[in-house]
């Protein structure tokens, strides 16, 4: 995978937990009980997509700019996007997309839950 830093980058974010959903083959990154990113893996444990949430217009724009950004794999295609892990999307853009996904999900949580996550 071209982006080996993703796991450590996401886990250092405030309030993030991670789990492996074996039946899907996904390493999920969560805020509370809401997923904001996932690394989707095949049977051999190799990543085939990095999936994250974006505002619909931004996701559509980026998919038009980069052939390695696709509508979300097994997700709502309006809000979710998938990145090929060996593609040509710059690291800085992947970081920005992950940050935006985190923020979107964080802002969707109730204020009480936000405060709990920030206290961790």
Q: What is this structure's pTM?
A: 0.94
For residue 6, how many other CB atoms are within 10 A of its CB?
23
Identify the burial level of 36 via C-beta atoms within 10 angstroms of its C-beta, where 0-12 means exposed, 13-18 middle and 19 or more buried. buried
Q: 6-119: which CATH topology?
A: 3.90.1150
pLDDT tens per residue across span 23-82: 999 999 999 899 999 999 998 989 999 999 999 999 999 999 999 999 998 888 889 999
Q: Where are the domains of the chain?
A: 6-119
| φ and ψ of 34, to 5 deg | -110, 125
Of 18-22, 80-84, 93-97, 114-118, the poorest mean pLDDT is in: 114-118
């Amino acid at each position: 995978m071209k982006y080996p830093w993703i796991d450590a980058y996401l886990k250092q974010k405030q309030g993030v937990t991670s789990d492996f959903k074996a039946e899907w083959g996904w390493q999920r990154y969560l805020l509370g009980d809401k997923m904001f990113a996932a690394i989707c893996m095949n049977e051999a444990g190799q990543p085939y997509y990095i999936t994250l949430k974006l505002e619909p217009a931004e996701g559509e724009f980026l998919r038009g700019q980069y052939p390695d950004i696709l509508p979300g794999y097994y997700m709502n295609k309006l809000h979710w996007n998938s990145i090929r892990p060996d593609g040509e999307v710059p690291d800085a853009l992947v970081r920005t997309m992950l940050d935006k996904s985190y923020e979107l999900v964080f802002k969707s949580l109730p204020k009480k839950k936000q405060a709990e996550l920030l206290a961790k």
